[in-house]
Amino acid sequence: MEDRRTAMRALRLVSTETWRIEAKYSRYRDDNIVSSINTSAGKQVRVDEETARLFDYAASLFDLSEGRFDVTSGVLRRAWRFDGSDRVPSAEQVADLMMLVGWRRVRWSEPFIVLEPGMEIDFGGIGKEYAVDRAAELVAPLTTACLLNFGGDLRALGPDASGKAWRVGVEAADRLGAAAQTVDLYQGGLATSGDARRFLLKDNHRYGHILDPTTGWPIEDMPRSVTVTAPTCTQAGMLATLAMLRGRESEAFLAEHADQYWCIR
């Protein structure tokens, strides 16, 4: 950025907005809208306009993914803990939880939502990218010489202060922390989806952390990682995630829908 004062002001804006979104949509809190919905026990819950937009977006992703992106699938984490161990849940455990999964079972008509008792919603699949883009909107009036990095989900408002592109590394799947290649990012979003850090390994079979909500089990034959650039971080994250959910058809999906991508198997 051009000067320290501008940088500190931008940092405060980003921090405040990020913590606001975290507090509002984290599934780990018991004092926010997500908790109110998840503990509603079949009762109708009224949501604000921002939350309504997220539900509309989640519904569109459900349709685009043919049911493979489902914000009600977070309950599957009760059985799946992707900690690098060999603790794969039983078929019975997964089947029991699948009784609580299914966006089509949700009654959503703005501004009201109704979940069947025991069901939950989880915005984890879209929340971080949304936070990046919201922060970018707040920083943009101050400066365009800025790169926002939320754990590898990025948004460049423009080139750096010298006019050069931001140099971003695409992580190698088999060498954590090492770049398989680099990307020059002048403007727009970049997001990665992959299983390099979250998986289970049992009997030489690797179970990646991206689950298929239609089965309750990890997606088969998916890439180790997919990285995509797009005009916004939300769009990049959407494309990366939907590509992973396609499994062996990831490359075909990316070739049709993404302008610039890296798919590592």
Cβ neighbour number for residue 11 with a 10 Å cutoff: 12
Whole-prediction pTM: 0.90
In a domain, 106, yes or no: yes
| Residue range(s) defining the domain that contains residue 13 | 4-114
pLDDT, tens only, 212-265: 999 999 998 888 889 999 999 999 999 999 999 999 999 999 999 998 999 988
- Residue 252 belongs to a domain: yes
Identify the band that residue 62 occupies on the pLDDT scale cut at 50, 70 and 90. very high
Domain assignment present for 135: no
Q: Which helix (H) or strand (E) holds 19?
A: helix 4-25
> Is 119 part of any domain?
no
**CATH assignment at residue 192:** 3.10.520.10
CA gap 172, 176 in Å, rounded: 6
Compute the distance between CA of residue 14 and CA of residue 75 in angstroms, rounded to an integer. Answer: 30
Q: What is the per-residue pLDDT across 189-221, written as a single tens digit (0 to 9) for each?
A: 999 998 767 888 888 888 888 999 999 999 988
Region of residue 81 (left: phi > 0; alpha: psi -120 to 50; beta: else): beta
CATH of the domain at 45: 1.10.3980.10
Q: Which of 96, 114, 132 is the last residue of a domain?
A: 114
SS3 label, residue 1: coil
Residue 159 and residue 85 share a domain = no
Reported as a pLDDT band with limits 50, 70 and 90, residue 3 is confident
